[in-house]
């Protein structure tokens, strides 16, 4: 007797084995890692990388005096029509933002000011205005300008000069 073979069809015993194999592959298995990785070169335990973001405080001098001066000029040109510098000085202002990152304040400023044209200033100008406001609040200057990119601004915590 000649047996017909069907291309693409698996005989019944093979179906069960194939289904079992597919089911075994589909079951998610937890990935196990050693608590502390082993360095292959020395067989010495290496420390796990930190998952915490490294942050800096405004009290660490994260903006320069030159940036403060630029910020004063931008404030005079773009902000003074509606705002007086004194409105941004004191515990009321800093305490309202304390614990946040500079990025949160930067984005808020950029999305809402100037009132007649939010986002009109460059990122450098917004950073300079913030440096000016921070300096008005007694926060120390440093050697470098405060960055103006979100990733870097997220690494700077807002804290008052007296915390």
Query: Residues 57, 155: contact at Cβ < 8 Å?
Result: no
Q: What pLDDT score was predicted for residue 17?
A: 36
The per-residue pLDDT for range 60-90, each reduced to its tens digit, is: 999 999 999 999 999 999 999 999 999 999 8
- For residues 12 and 144, give the distance between their C-alpha atoms in angstroms, rounded to a whole number: 74
Is the residue at 84 inside a domain? yes
Is the residue at 23 inside a domain? no
Query: Residues 143, 61: contact at Cβ < 8 Å?
Result: yes
Is the residue at 146 inside a domain? yes
Is 156 strand, coil or helix?
strand
The per-residue pLDDT for range 145-156, each reduced to its tens digit, is: 999 999 999 999
- For residues 132 and 70, give the distance between their C-alpha atoms in angstroms, rounded to a whole number: 8
Is the residue at 74 inside a domain? yes
Q: Give me the number of domains the chain comprises.
A: 1
| Confidence band of 99 (pLDDT split at 50, 70, 90) | very high
Rounded to two decimals, the pTM is: 0.68
**Both tokens assigned to 146:** 């405060």
For 133, the domain range is: 56-157
Query: Residues 140, 61: contact at Cβ < 8 Å?
Result: yes
**Both tokens assigned to 82:** 């509606």
Is the residue at 82 inside a domain? yes
* CA proximity to 53, closest of 129, 150, 118, 162: 150
- For residues 102 and 148, give the distance between their C-alpha atoms in angstroms, rounded to a whole number: 10
Is the residue at 65 inside a domain? yes
Is the residue at 13 inside a domain? no
Is the residue at 30 inside a domain? no
Number of neighbouring beta carbons within 10 Å of residue 148: 20
């Amino acid at each position: 007797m000649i047996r017909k073979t069907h291309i693409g069809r698996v005989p019944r015993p093979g179906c069960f084995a194939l289904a079992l194999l597919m089911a075994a592959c589909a079951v998610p298995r937890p990935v196990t890692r050693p608590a502390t990785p082993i360095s292959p070169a020395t067989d010495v335990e290496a420390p796990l990388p930190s998952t915490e973001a490294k942050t800096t405080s405004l009290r660490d001098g994260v903006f320069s005096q030159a940036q403060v001066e630029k910020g004063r000029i931008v404030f005079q040109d773009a902000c003074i029509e509606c705002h007086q510098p004194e409105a941004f000085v004191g515990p009321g202002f800093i305490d309202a933002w304390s614990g946040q990152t500079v990025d949160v304040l930067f984005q808020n400023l950029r999305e809402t000011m100037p009132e007649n044209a939010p986002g009109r200033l460059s990122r450098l100008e917004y950073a300079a205005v913030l440096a000016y406001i921070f300096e008005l609040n007694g926060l120390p200057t440093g050697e470098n300008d405060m960055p103006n990119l979100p990733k870097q601004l997220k690494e700077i915590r807002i804290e008052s000069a007296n915390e």
